Amino acid sequence: MTTRIPFIGGNWKMNGDLATLSDLTRNINTTLDAKSKTEVVVFPSFVYLPAIKKLLGNNTIALGAQNFCQHEQGAYTGEIAASMLKDIGCAHVLVGHSERRQLYGETDQVVAEKCVLALKHDLKPVLCVGETLAQRQSDDAESTVLAQLDAVLDQINMDDLQHLVIAYEPVWAIGTGQTASAEQAQAMHQCLRQHLRNKDNHLGEMIRIIYGGSVKPANAAAIFAMPDIDGGLIGGASLNADDFVAIVNAV
């Protein structure tokens, strides 16, 4: 069986200021075990990327961006190009996060275009997929998530798949009062992995699929113990250094 390197991402979203995020970065830097085998990436807001990159220095923690434009360059006021992210030291970028899909209308096609562009500029996409409560209740969960994945798989070649990380977000369990169990998360991760195996068995075993639900120190170990869950995309808990490091240690 292929050994997959665990991946933990801290999605800071639109939170904090330069002082608090600088302190957060320093605390994560000093608390995280330098010998950890887990790949750790933090995703600050655009305006703080250079400052956080400087604080990270040559540390093993990598820098990622939360979003970018699906176009190379041009008259797109307010947008950020993939080449710009690469230029300032980003290694990863989130693509298709549920908030981008729901609040800003990003379609499967736009998400696929962004994945293609990220790979072209040597940025590793963290592709987010997930279903809403209505889709789960109507038994459309698997078909919805697999359609989101296929929209990307249809646009990139198999060799590029090795650079992709997939993050499963159970949108129905985020802010709804519903709770996703470790077993429910594993079931969707297993579905995604089998779908990838059907495309290419080796890549299906190699690609990391991480969990983008509400991971906290209290439930991290149980979630990460599942055989097809290779880490997590952490939201609120990533804004607390002790909690974030505890989650990294749990994997």
Please, what is the angle between helix 241-250 and helix 18-31, to 10°?
Answer: 40
**Beta bridge pairs of residue 167:** 128, 210
Angle at the Cα of 51 from the Cα atoms of 29 and 64, rounded to 5 degrees = 70
Q: Which of 92, 99, 169, 189 is catalytic?
A: 169
Q: Which of 39, 97, 99, 113 is catalytic?
A: 97
List the structure tokens of 4: 């997959």
131 is catalytic: no
DSSP state of 2: P
Can you list the alpha helix ranges (DSSP code H) found in the chain?
Answer: 18-31, 49-56, 82-87, 98-104, 108-120, 133-137, 141-153, 182-199, 201-206, 217-224, 241-250
DSSP state of 44: -
- CA–CA distance, 58 with 180 (Å, rounded to integer): 37
- Cβ(105)–Cβ(66) below 8 Å: no
189 is catalytic: no
Max CA separation in the chain (angstroms):
48
Catalytic residues: 97, 169
